[in-house]
């Protein structure tokens, strides 16, 4: 990827972070109008607040500017009460929102919060079913509780439980959580279903379904992307038991993504190409491919080049300004699709799309080791 384009894209992300810091409003940025840049916020961080804090940690690490570090710590502390929330999605909050500060900046406040969040995840573990269930406070509007699993409950819990294994004796729980979600959600062909009900006594699969995809047999884009990134996080931490399924899931993405590298919201929407893209799913996939590239020598070139192609397509076609006549605020990653089923934020900037684009850009820039984040 051209170095000038890369540097310019990073500068644009930083400009957007500054504009978000300056924007009035309380709560964590969740999704924004892609024309005005105005954020819709979540008061307590929902499942997404950690991505905003993660962007601040990345900005602090990249620029070395104390103001980003100060802001990151302030926002991370606001996540503290969520350590006890009954939602597996708190893994997102405490990996991206707190552990990144410990890992990249050796921040003690962040480390303590990260440990508290990981303990909170362990409290939710079901030893019979051998996984952390979705939980009754999880974001999804229906089918949440102690007998439901979501593939999006992997990134966050998996690296947190591995990272804190020595302190919290959580390595086997991380492995079991991952093994069970693979059994419940990954299909034989390497495509991924978002959600499953399981028998709470045995963990056996009862049914597969989706909260956000077009239908239960379809492949919702972020289901595939979340599986890719969590498997990559496990491999990056030496869990090579998951190598084959990680390759299968990543190769499925590459074989099914559009020729122009930016996925639509669901791979099986019959309206493609006249339907929504999901730039956030593409950004997650790019970050995952960069992680996989470092620990799979036989796939290194293919995954690295594919990630670069996705990132380049995102910054040239979807990051504002996209051309000289574009007067929108700078640095918005447009065309994320949050929830097409409910008609919410279908062509918007999404805070997690911003985060994964920023992470991938910093990895491509060459200083950030993808296996640290
Ligand atoms: N719940 C995670 C997602 O919507 O991607």
Cα of 355 vs centre of ligand 1, distance in Å, is 14
pLDDT in tens, 135-154: 999 987 678 889 999 999 99
Domains of the chain in start order, with CATH, are 3-372 (1.50.10.10)
Q: Which atom of ligand 1 is nearest to the CA of 139?
A: 1
Nearest 10 degrees: Cα torsion 67, 68, 69, 71: 90
Give the residue, by CA position, lying nearest to ligand 1 atom 1: 152
Q: Please give the Cα distance from 285 to 88 (Å, whole number).
A: 21
User: What does the alpha-carbon distance between residue 303 and residue 287 come to, in Å, rounded to a whole number?
Assistant: 10
- Let me know: does 104 contact 372? Beta carbons within 8 Å: yes
Q: CB of 212 closer than 6 A to ligand 1?
A: yes
Residues 201, 177, 336, CA angle at the centre, nearest 5°?
120
In this predicted structure, what is the pLDDT of residue 141? Answer: 64
Percent over 70 (pLDDT), the chain: 100
Q: How far apart are CA 232 and CA 184, in angstroms?
A: 18
How far, in Å, from the CA of 345 to the mean position of ligand 1?
12
List the residue whose alpha carbon is closest to atom 2 of ligand 1.
152
Contact 223, 193 (CB under 8 A): yes
Does 340 sit in the ligand 1 pocket, CB within 6 Å?
Answer: no
Tell whether the torsion through CA atoms of 227, 90, 344 and 30 is positive or negative.
negative
pLDDT tens, position by position, 47-67: 999 999 999 999 999 999 999
* 192 strand-pairing partners: 186
Contacts for 348 with CB less than 8 Å, ≥ 6 apart: 31, 32, 33, 34, 334, 335, 336, 337, 338
CA of 152 to the centre of ligand 1 (A): 6
Q: What's the average model confidence in pLDDT over 6-17?
A: 98
Decide: 139 in ligand 1 pocket, CB within 6 A.
yes
* Whether residue 211 has its Cβ less than 6 Å from ligand 1: no
Mutate to test the pocket of ligand 1, among 46, 47, 90, 211 (most ligand atoms within 8 A of CB): 47
Residue with the two structure tokens 């109008």: 33
* Helix (H) or strand (E) segment spanning residue 243: helix 243-256
Q: What is the pLDDT of residue 142?
A: 74
pLDDT at residue 359, rounded to an integer? 98
User: Is 160:121 a contact under the CB 8 Å cutoff?
Assistant: yes
Residue nearest to atom 5 of ligand 1 (CA): 222
User: Does ligand 1 lie within 6 Å of residue 222's CB atom?
Assistant: yes
Contact 245, 182 (CB under 8 A): yes
- 89-133 pLDDT tens trace: 999 999 999 999 999 999 999 999 999 999 999 999 999 999 999
Nearest ligand 1 atom, CA 352: 5
Q: Tell me what the pLDDT averaged over the chain comes to.
A: 97
CA 222 to chain centre: 9
Nearest to 77 by CA among 42, 48, 101, 104: 101
Residue 302 has pLDDT above 90, yes or no: yes
In the prediction, which pLDDT does 230 show?
98
How confident is the model at residue 144, as a pLDDT?
Answer: 85
Which residue has the least CA distance to atom 4 on ligand 1?
338
CA distances from 136 to 119, 129, 181 (A): 18, 17, 18
Q: Is the CB of 47 under 6 A from ligand 1?
A: yes
């Amino acid at each position: 990827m051209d170095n000038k384009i890369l540097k310019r894209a990073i500068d644009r992300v930083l400009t957007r972070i500054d504009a978000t810091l300056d924007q009035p409003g309380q709560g964590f940025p969740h999704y924004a109008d892609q024309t005005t840049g105005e954020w819709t916020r979540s008061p307590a961080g929902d499942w997404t607040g950690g991505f905003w804090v993660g962007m601040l940690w990345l900005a602090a690490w990249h620029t070395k500017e104390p103001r980003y570090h100060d802001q990151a710590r302030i926002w991370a502390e606001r996540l503290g009460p969520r350590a006890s929330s009954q939602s597996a999605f708190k893994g997102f909050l405490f990996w991206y929102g707190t552990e990144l500060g410990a890992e990249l900046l050796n921040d003690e406040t962040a480390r303590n919060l990260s440990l508290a969040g990981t303990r909170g995840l362990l409290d939710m573990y079901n030893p019979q079913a051998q996984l952390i269930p979705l939980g009754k406070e999880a974001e999804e509007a229906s089918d949440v509780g102690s007998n439901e699993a979501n593939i999006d409950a992997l990134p966050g819990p998996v690296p947190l439980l591995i990272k804190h294994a020595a302190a919290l004796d959580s390595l086997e729980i991380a492995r079991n959580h991952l093994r069970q979600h693979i059994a419940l959600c990954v299909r034989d062909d390497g495509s991924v279903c978002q959600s499953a009900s399981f028998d709470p006594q045995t963990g056996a699969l009862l049914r597969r379904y989706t909260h956000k995809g077009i239908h239960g047999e379809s492949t919702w884009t972020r289901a595939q992307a979340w599986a890719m990134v969590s498997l990559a996080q496990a491999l990056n931490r030496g869990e090579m038991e998951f190598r084959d399924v990680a390759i299968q899931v990543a190769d499925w993405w590459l074989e099914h993504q559009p020729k122009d590298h930016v996925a639509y919201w669901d791979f099986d929407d019959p309206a493609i190409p006249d339907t929504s893209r999901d730039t956030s799913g593409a950004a997650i996939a790019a970050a995952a491919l960069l992680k996989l590239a470092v620990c799979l020598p036989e796939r290194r070139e293919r995954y690295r080049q594919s990630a670069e192609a996705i990132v380049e397509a995102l910054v040239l076609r979807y990051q504002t300004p996209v051309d000289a006549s574009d007067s929108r605020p700078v640095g918005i990653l447009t065309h994320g699709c949050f929830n097409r089923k409910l008609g919410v934020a279908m062509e918007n900037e999404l805070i997690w799309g911003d985060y994964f684009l920023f992470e991938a850009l910093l990895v491509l820039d060459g200083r950030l080791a993808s296996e640290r984040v």
